[in-house]
C-alpha cells in the first residue's frame, strides 16, 4: 500500500502562472538590472529586441542571478541563446541593451516529473491539475537516443529547451523538489511522505529499456534512484543554505551529500 501526503503548495500558483515580462534597466557587460514581482533566483528566460511594430527576435538567454525582495529589483545574467539550433539560417550578433525586454519563467505551465514509481507519479501529477505534464516516457525515449540510461543535467536542459518545458519536479527523500528545468536551480521544496520502497531507475516510465552508449558520461546504468538525484540537486545548488539545512536535517551533519555545498559562514 502506498501513501503520499503533500502540503498545500500555495506558492506553486506563482510558479505556474504566466511568464514575467519586464524591460532591462541598466546593462553592464553580461548583466542587467530589472524590476518585477515574483522573480526568484535561478529563473530562466530570454531577452527580446523589438526592431519595429511588427518585427522582434530573441537575442540571448538570461537567468535571474540575484533578487532583492525589499524592492523587487533583480540582476540578470546573459548567455548565448540556444533555443533554436539551425545552422542553415543566419544569426544575429546583438548584445542586450537597456530597453530590450526580458521574458522570464517562460513555459512554467509545462513540467516534467521525475518520480520513483507510477503511484508516486500519479499522485503528484493529479495534485497539480493546472500543470501541463510532459510524460516521462518522452524523456526516456530522448535518453535512449542519446545513449544515457543515467540522465545528465545537460540532458534535462537540452530536452526541456527543445520541448518548451519550464519546470522540473523531482520526488525524492520524502520531498518534492521544484527546479527550473533549464538552469537546474532549486526554486522551492515541499515535504511529502511516502511509505513505498519501490524504486524504478532511472525514474518511472513505461519504456522498458533505455539504450546505453558504448562509453562516456551518462552511459552507465543508474544503480540507485534517490542518492543520484539528491546529489545532482546539491551540485547545482551548492550555495543554497536552505537546501543544505534540509539535507542536514534529513541525513545528519555527517552525510556525504553535504560535501557538495560551498557556503560561507
Q: Are residues 40 and 170 in the same domain?
A: no
Q: Are strands 167-172 and 175-180 parallel, antiparallel or unpaired?
A: antiparallel
Grid cell for residue 228: 543520484
CATH number at residue 68: 2.40.10
Q: Is 50 exceeded by the pLDDT of residue 8? A: no
Q: Is 70 exceeded by the pLDDT of residue 37? A: yes
pTM, rounded to two decimals = 0.90
Given 104, 129, 146, the domain boundary residue is: 104
Q: Per-residue pLDDT tens for 50-96?
A: 988 898 989 999 999 999 999 999 999 999 887 776 565 666 678 89
The residue segments making up the domain with residue 122 are 108-260
Q: What was the pLDDT predicted at 195?
A: 54
* Residue 225, in any domain of the structure: yes
State the average pLDDT over residues 245-256. 91
Q: Per-residue pLDDT tens for 180-200?
A: 999 999 999 998 866 566 889
**Exposure b/e, 140-151, CB count within 10 A at least 16 = b:** bbbbeebebbbb
Q: What was the pLDDT predicted at 137?
A: 97
Q: Are residues 228 and 121 in the same domain?
A: yes
Asked whether 205 and 123 are in contact (CB, 8 A), the reply is no
Q: Are residues 52 and 177 in the same domain?
A: no
Q: What 3-state DSSP class applies to 60?
A: strand
Helix, strand and coil percent figures for the chain, each rounded to 5: 25, 30, 50
Q: What was the pLDDT predicted at 4?
A: 47
Mean of all residue pLDDT scores within the chain: 88
Q: What are phi and psi of 58, to 5 degrees?
A: -85, 130
Q: What was the pLDDT predicted at 83?
A: 72
Amino acid at each position: 500500500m502506498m501513501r503520499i501526503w503533500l502540503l498545500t503548495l500555495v506558492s506553486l500558483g506563482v510558479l505556474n502562472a504566466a511568464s514575467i515580462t519586464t524591460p532591462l534597466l541598466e546593462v553592464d557587460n553580461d548583466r542587467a538590472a530589472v524590476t518585477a514581482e515574483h522573480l526568484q533566483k535561478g529563473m530562466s528566460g530570454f531577452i527580446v529586441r523589438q526592431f519595429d511594430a511588427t518585427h522582434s527576435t530573441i537575442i540571448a538567454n538570461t537567468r535571474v542571478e540575484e533578487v532583492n525582495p525589499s524592492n523587487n529589483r533583480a540582476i540578470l545574467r546573459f548567455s548565448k541563446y540556444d533555443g533554436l539550433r539551425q545552422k542553415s539560417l543566419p544569426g544575429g550578433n546583438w548584445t542586450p541593451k537597456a530597453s530590450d525586454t526580458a521574458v522570464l519563467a517562460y513555459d512554467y505551465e509545462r513540467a516534467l516529473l521525475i518520480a520513483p514509481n507510477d503511484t508516486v507519479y500519479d499522485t503528484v501529477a493529479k495534485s497539480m491539475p493546472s500543470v501541463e505534464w510532459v510524460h516521462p516516457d518522452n524523456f526516456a525515449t530522448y535518453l535512449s537516443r542519446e545513449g544515457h540510461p543515467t540522465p545528465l543535467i545537460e540532458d534535462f536542459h537540452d530536452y526541456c529547451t527543445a520541448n518548451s518545458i519550464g519546470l522540473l519536479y523531482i520526488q525524492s527523500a520524502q520531498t518534492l523538489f521544484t527546479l527550473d528545468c533549464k538552469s537546474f536551480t532549486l526554486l522551492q521544496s515541499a515535504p511529502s511522505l511516502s511509505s513505498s520502497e519501490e524504486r524504478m531507475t532511472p525514474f518511472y516510465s513505461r519504456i522498458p529499456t533505455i539504450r546505453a552508449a558504448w562509453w562516456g558520461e551518462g552511459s552507465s546504468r543508474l544503480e540507485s534512484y534517490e542518492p543520484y538525484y539528491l546529489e545532482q540537486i546539491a551540485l547545482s545548488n551548492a550555495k543554497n543554505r536552505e537546501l543544505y539545512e534540509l539535507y542536514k536535517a534529513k541525513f545528519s551533519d555527517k552525510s556525504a551529500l553535504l560535501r557538495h555545498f560551498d557556503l560561507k559562514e
